[in-house]
């Protein structure tokens, strides 16, 4: 299949047949230049129009447009820095089937011999602008002139000036001088910066029953009064206010018209409309790991004038049920920065383990330039039984830190992107824990579009635990493998070390990996082929279990519904296992 597409692509590059009447071929050029040459050829448009109208080809028109094509190709190559182009045309055939061929020699390239940038006005001595005189990317002395790069440099100069508060800046000289006989180009630009503008006073207008404190909202301004005006900072402020999740709309009006000869400060007016202070969520579903499930949740967006939030979730299923309440207090200057207080109750019954867990914790959440960081402290009380064994309890006070980052082109249906998560936490008998342990976890996800509608999805998980007394470590801190997001073909968390009674008790180490090809042959429907491997053990060299299979994908508005049939390769397992789930994002 791939060879077929490659052959078709090569044929398209070297031959453009507009109609059955005229076959036009342009040879000797690179792909960009060739595409532009085809786009400029009048004989192609003539052929398409004649064919569409079911008209008759006139010999005189064909010969005239054929001769005109030489000049059109020469003009088409000038934006790419080829000004001494030699075209050898050839017309063969007879009415109604002609072959039009242009053999092109682009000739020597036209190189940049001089770049002269002058600055005038109030910002003429600004170091950021003066630096552009020597840092003229994407143009470079001695390299081929491209009109696209010349336009990009002009845009870059003006945009840089706007970002420095020079809102009246304009290019008063814009010259691209081509010396055709000598194959050289001179770039001559003069920027009149005009006056510099600054941020003025900021007013914030709100509506709604609970108005947030003005001082609280001003923490999320990305500029300060008196700074040089920068349109990018206005836009980033609008994004920040929207990301706070308090407002339905955020409008920012920069009142440049209120400046005058005596003041260059631009007043800023921010107006907002309230988003509903409360929202509710309901859901029903089924997952292979959980069985039938139902969920209900509520968000309280603004509990007070300081912007405190409360999020509650209740999820009930056949195997796992949990209730979570998170109280979030905004801190810092980014919408994602907060302090959270969380309570959780959880019960789960899988494989040979039955567990009830209560957790109370606090965390400090902050986003850096790329990574989201979470520093937390959690206290857990755990009651659990391993099949046919007495009930045990565990108490842990667990400090930890985690980092995560997601990068993709769409939050629900990305075509490419990656996700990484790192976590380290532990406990000590000297600090209210029943055992000493230290645990680290790494999760990696990746998605790559191999070609249109064909994607490669990969993931890998790695975990390791150092523990003084493994018997005192509860199941919530042990590693298991198997299930929808682990090794398909095996039951949820059924892979792991077993005791003398053949009961799965979990391990100190975890390794899982997966590779999946998704082919969406229609917009909403797709097929998948995958192979998974993984396991949990008490030694780093884990004996991996392998599963592979085929699946069906359906893109719903909330994510891709996945139905997989997986075959496990370990002896004693069911030949095929059905897995149901939903893929959202990476």
Task: Please tell me whether the peptide bond between 224 and the residue prior to it is cis, using omega within 30 degrees of 0.
Answer: no
DSSP state of 263: B
Does residue 13 have a pLDDT over 50? no
DSSP state of 138: T
Tell me if residue 1 falls in helix, strand or coil: coil
- Token reading at 553: 């994908």
- Token reading at 337: 């920065």
Identify the helix (H) or strand (E) that includes residue 73.
helix 59-77
What is the number of other CB atoms lying within 10 angstroms of the CB of residue 564? 24
Topology match between the domains 111-192 and 198-274? yes
Tell me if residue 99 falls in helix, strand or coil: strand
**How many angstroms separate the CA atoms of 146 and 81, rounded?**
5
What is the number of other CB atoms lying within 10 angstroms of the CB of residue 483? 25
- CATH level 3 topology of 278-583: Porin (2.40.160)
Does residue 53 have a pLDDT over 80? no
CATH 3.10.20 is held by the domain 12-105: yes
Question: What does DSSP say about strands 509-519 and 454-467: parallel, antiparallel, or unpaired?
Answer: antiparallel
Supply the pTM of this predicted model.
Answer: 0.78
What's the pLDDT at 386? 86
**What's the mean pLDDT when you consider all of the chain?**
91
Tell me if 514 sits within 8 A of 545, measured CB to CB: no
Tell me if 354 sits within 8 A of 385, measured CB to CB: yes
Tell me if residue 114 falls in helix, strand or coil: strand
What's the pLDDT at 452? 85
Task: Please tell me whether the peptide bond between 215 and the residue prior to it is cis, using omega within 30 degrees of 0.
Answer: no
Does residue 10 have a pLDDT over 80? no
Question: Which tens digits make up the pLDDT trace of 331-359?
Answer: 989 999 999 999 999 999 887 889 999 99
Nearest to 23 by CA among 54, 53, 47, 42: 47
CATH class of 198-274: alpha beta
What's the pLDDT at 54? 65
Q: Which residues contact 386 (CB under 8 A, 6 or more apart)?
A: 352, 353, 475, 499, 503, 505
**How many angstroms separate the CA atoms of 421 and 398, rounded?**
18
Confidence grade of residue 66 (pLDDT, cut at 50, 70, 90)? very high
Percent share of the chain, pLDDT over 70: 96
What's the pLDDT at 19? 41
**How many angstroms separate the CA atoms of 392 and 356, rounded?**
11
User: Per mean pLDDT, which range of 17-21, 44-48, 139-143, 493-497 is the poorest?
Assistant: 17-21
Question: What does DSSP say about strands 265-274 and 111-120: parallel, antiparallel, or unpaired?
Answer: unpaired
Question: Which tens digits make up the pLDDT trace of 276-300?
Answer: 999 999 988 888 888 888 999 999 9
Question: Which tens digits make up the pLDDT trace of 553-566?
Answer: 999 888 889 999 99
Question: Which tens digits make up the pLDDT trace of 434-486?
Answer: 999 999 999 999 999 998 889 999 999 999 999 988 889 999 999 999 998 89
Q: Order of strands across the sheet with 265-274?
A: 198-205, 265-274, 247-254
Question: What does DSSP say about strands 265-274 and 198-205: parallel, antiparallel, or unpaired?
Answer: parallel
- Between 94 and 374, the higher pLDDT residue: 374
Which of the listed CATH numbers 3.10.129.10, 3.10.20.310, 3.50.50.60, 3.40.190.10 matches domain 111-192? Answer: 3.10.20.310
Nearest to 402 by CA among 445, 439, 360, 357: 439
**How many angstroms separate the CA atoms of 411 and 407, rounded?**
9
Does residue 172 have a pLDDT over 80? yes
End-to-end Cα distance, the chain: 27
- Token reading at 124: 């003429």
Question: Computed over its alpha carbons, how large is the radius of gyration of the chain?
Answer: 33
DSSP state of 211: P
DSSP string, 435-446: S-EEEEEEEEEE
Domain residue limits, the chain = 12-105, 111-192, 198-274, 278-583
Nearest to 537 by CA among 481, 477, 492: 481
């Amino acid at each position: 299949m791939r060879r077929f597409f490659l052959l078709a692509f090569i044929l398209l590059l070297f031959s453009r047949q507009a109609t059955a009447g005229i076959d036009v071929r342009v040879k000797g050029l690179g792909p960009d230049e060739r595409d532009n040459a085809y786009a400029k050829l009048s004989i192609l448009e003539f052929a398409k129009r004649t064919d569409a109208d079911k008209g008759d080809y006139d010999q005189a028109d064909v010969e005239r447009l054929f001769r005109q094509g030489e000049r059109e190709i020469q003009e088409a190559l000038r934006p790419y820095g080829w000004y001494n182009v030699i075209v050898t045309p050839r017309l063969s055939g007879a009415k109604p089937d002609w072959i039009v061929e242009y053999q092109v020699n682009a000739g020597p390239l036209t190189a940049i011999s001089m770049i002269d940038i002058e600055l005038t006005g109030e910002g003429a001595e600004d170091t950021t602008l003066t630096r552009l005189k020597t840092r003229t990317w994407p143009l470079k002395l001695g390299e081929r002139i491209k009109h696209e790069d010349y336009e990009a440099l002009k845009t870059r100069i003006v945009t840089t000036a706007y970002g420095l508060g020079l809102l009246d800046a304009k290019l008063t000289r814009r010259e691209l001088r081509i010396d055709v006989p000598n194959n050289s180009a001179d770039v001559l630009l003069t920027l009149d910066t005009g006056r510099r503008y600054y941020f003025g006073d900021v007013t914030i207008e709100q509506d709604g029953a609970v108005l947030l404190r003005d001082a609280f909202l001003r923490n999320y301004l990305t500029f300060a009064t008196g700074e040089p005006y920068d349109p990018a900072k206005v836009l980033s402020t609008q994004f920040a206010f929207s990301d706070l999740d308090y407002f339905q709309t955020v409008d920012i009006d920069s009142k440049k018209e209120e400046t005058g000869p005596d003041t260059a400060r631009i007043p800023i007016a921010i107006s907002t409309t309230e988003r509903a202070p409360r929202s509710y969520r309901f859901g029903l579903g089924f997952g292979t790991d959980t069985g039938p499930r139902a969920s209900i949740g509520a968000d309280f967006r603004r509990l007070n004038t300081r912007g405190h939030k409360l999020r509650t979730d209740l999820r009930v299923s056949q195997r796992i049920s949990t209730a979570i309440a998170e109280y979030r207090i905004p801190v810092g200057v980014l919408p994602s920065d907060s302090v959270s207080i969380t309570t959780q109750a959880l019960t789960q019954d899988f494989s040979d383990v039955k567990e009830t867990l209560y957790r109370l914790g606090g965390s400090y959440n902050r986003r850096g330039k790329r990574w989201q960081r979470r520093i937390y402290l959690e206290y857990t009380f755990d009651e659990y039984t391993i099949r046919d064994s007495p009930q045990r309890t565990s108490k842990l006070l667990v400090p930890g830190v985690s980092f995560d980052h997601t990068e993709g082109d769409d939050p629900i249906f990305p075509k490419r992107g990656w996700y990484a998560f790192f976590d380290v936490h532990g406990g000590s008998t000297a600090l209210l824990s029943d055992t000493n342990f230290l645990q680290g976890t790494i999760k990696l996800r990746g998605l790559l579009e191999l070609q249109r509608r064909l994607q490669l999805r990969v993931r890998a998980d790695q975990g390791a635990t150092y523990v003084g007394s493994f018997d005192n470590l509860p199941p919530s801190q042990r590693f298991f493998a198997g299930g929808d997001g682990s090794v398909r073909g095996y039951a949820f968390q059924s892979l792991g070390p077993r005791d003398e009674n053949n009961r799965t008790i979990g391990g100190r180490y975890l390794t899982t990996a997966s590779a999946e090809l998704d082919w969406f042959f229609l917009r909403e429907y797709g097929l998948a082929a995958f192979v998974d491997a993984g396991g949990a053990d008490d030694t780093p060299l884990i004996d991996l279990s392998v599963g592979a299979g085929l699946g069906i994908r359906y893109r719903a508005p909330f994510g891709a519904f996945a139905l997989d049939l997986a075959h496990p390769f370990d002896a004693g397992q069911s030949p095929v296992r059905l897995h149901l789930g939903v893929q959202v994002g990476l």
